Amino acid sequence: MTRLFGTDGIRGAANEYPLTADVIVNVGRAVASIFSDANHRAKIIIGKDTRESGGMIEDALASGICSTGGDACLAGVLPTPAVAYLTSSTDASAGIVISASHNPFYDNGIKIFDVDGYKLADHKEDEIEHLLLNENTGNVNGKSVRDTGSVESLKDASERYLTFLKGTLRDTTFFNGMKIILDCSNGATYRVAPKLFNDLGAQVEAISANPDGKNINADCGSEHPEVLIDSVIAKKADIGLAFDGDGDRLVAVDEKGQVITGDGILAICARTLKRKGLLRNNLVVSTVMSNLGLRLALKDLGIRHLMTQVGDRYVLQQMNASGAVIGGEDSGHMIFLDQHTTGDGMLSAIRLIQSMHDENMTLSELSQVMAVFPQVLLNIEVQNKPAIESVASLMDAIRSVEKILGEKGRVLVRYSGTQPLCRVMVEGPDKDETQQYCQQIADVVKATLG
């Protein structure tokens, strides 16, 4: 058995290793084992998105949990951050989300949250791996095989989560009459997001809110906001909000149809927090994938900026280490540590709209805080993943482009942590030239690693 955990839990094609029923049962057993002891019976909350394979994985996890003496508490279809919140606010021992985020329907995954609602630490993942690799996922706590657990449903899961989100606002009157278009990506937010913004008083229209098990993320959501753009313009909406399949990402569309990605949202919200004296340590955390424009915007605002490797878990680690309250990724993961333990697309939407109210500006006006440098990102399928620095021809191609761009751009080449892909990103002052330079490097990747 090879390494199971990537940068965001276990992920792969559903019904293929490692997401086969037998492996998933053992994952459930291992999770229940490490979160229980002789005096404590594990209670694990399980949530899922709308993929057709979610039920199979849910049943397998519940079976594994119960066979080891733990209890499985099924929350149904819910966004990832909802499971994190429910885990930390109830008597649960841990939470599991069944989702592959923005990936197509035939993929799926398993994310695990600890008792405090944080994504599982590396050493806990290693502990699960150890149990699985050594085929020791059963009676590790000396329990009798007769001490099986039970399966129950958490019937008020969505209501608890919505109450939490509403509780982050002191005043909701500014939502009254606001026209919002939601793109729910046919995913986990398809019920809770429309209800939230309707309850807050907005005029809401939801698109991509009819999941069929296979249309999750299909030409919709935060990865594909084109239909949302058209809807915002046609309906003359104040804002468009696009979530991804599991609801932990947000991409916004302003009233003119312009897309505001994670970096732009970070800059907007950071400025508002600073003006209100709430930007703890005068600091924002993002990843190396952040646009050059974010760095310059934060510099102009007099805000400190720390960067991490790609992955919201690494952003969170740096936030905790440095005392930051806001951080995220350009992909749309935003973490507001003053209110939640993980990225939450719906909470990010609330905070963005709060900024519009506090600054008394439209979203298009607010977005002027950051000038976006042309950025091109190409994903190339690879057969293997040797260290980038060890591939001489690739390093030559990277250095050649870097020399041309100088201080007016940058190059970032890295492997996906969850897929057999090499990601080539180039930023520069001119869109056509940036596309050309990115393609040059991508061609070398394909020739050497594809």
Residues spanned by the domain of 150: 5-155
End-to-end Cα spacing for the chain: 25
* Domain of residue 340, CATH code: 3.40.120.10
Considering the domain architecture, whether residues 116 and 182 belong to the same structural domain is answered as: no
Report pLDDT digits (tens) over 309-359.
Answer: 888 889 999 999 999 999 999 999 999 999 999 999 999 999 999 999 999
Considering the domain architecture, whether residues 275 and 408 belong to the same structural domain is answered as: no
Considering the domain architecture, whether residues 24 and 104 belong to the same structural domain is answered as: yes
Considering the domain architecture, whether residues 249 and 284 belong to the same structural domain is answered as: no
pLDDT recorded at residue 35 = 93
Q: Which of 24, 97, 79 is nearest to 57 (CA)?
A: 24
pLDDT recorded at residue 135 = 67
Number of domains in the chain: 4
Considering the domain architecture, whether residues 26 and 120 belong to the same structural domain is answered as: yes
Strands 179-183 and 203-207: parallel
* Domain of residue 419, CATH code: 3.30.310.50
Considering the domain architecture, whether residues 149 and 239 belong to the same structural domain is answered as: no
Query: Quick check: is 67 catalytic?
Result: no
Which residue, of 258, 278, 295, is where some domain finishes?
258
Are 314 and 284 in contact, with CB atoms under 8 Å apart?
Answer: no
Strand (E) or helix (H) holding 75: strand 71-77
91 vs 43: CA distance, rounded Å: 8
Burial (CB count within 10 angstroms: exposed 0-12, middle 13-18, buried 19+), residue 171: exposed
218 vs 178: CA distance, rounded Å: 28
Considering the domain architecture, whether residues 25 and 129 belong to the same structural domain is answered as: yes
pTM: 0.89
In a domain, 365, yes or no: no
Phi, psi (degrees; rounded to nearest 5) at 203: -90, 115
pLDDT recorded at residue 76 = 97
Residue ranges for the chain with pLDDT beneath 50: 140
Q: Annotated catalytic residue: which of 67, 101, 158, 290? A: 101
Q: Which of 103, 119, 95, 105 is nearest to 15 (CA)?
A: 105
pLDDT recorded at residue 407 = 80
**CA 189 and chain centroid, separation:** 13
Considering the domain architecture, whether residues 71 and 147 belong to the same structural domain is answered as: yes
In a domain, 362, yes or no: no
Considering the domain architecture, whether residues 42 and 16 belong to the same structural domain is answered as: yes
Are 380 and 424 in contact, with CB atoms under 8 Å apart?
Answer: yes
pLDDT recorded at residue 144 = 56
Considering the domain architecture, whether residues 185 and 225 belong to the same structural domain is answered as: yes
pLDDT recorded at residue 84 = 98
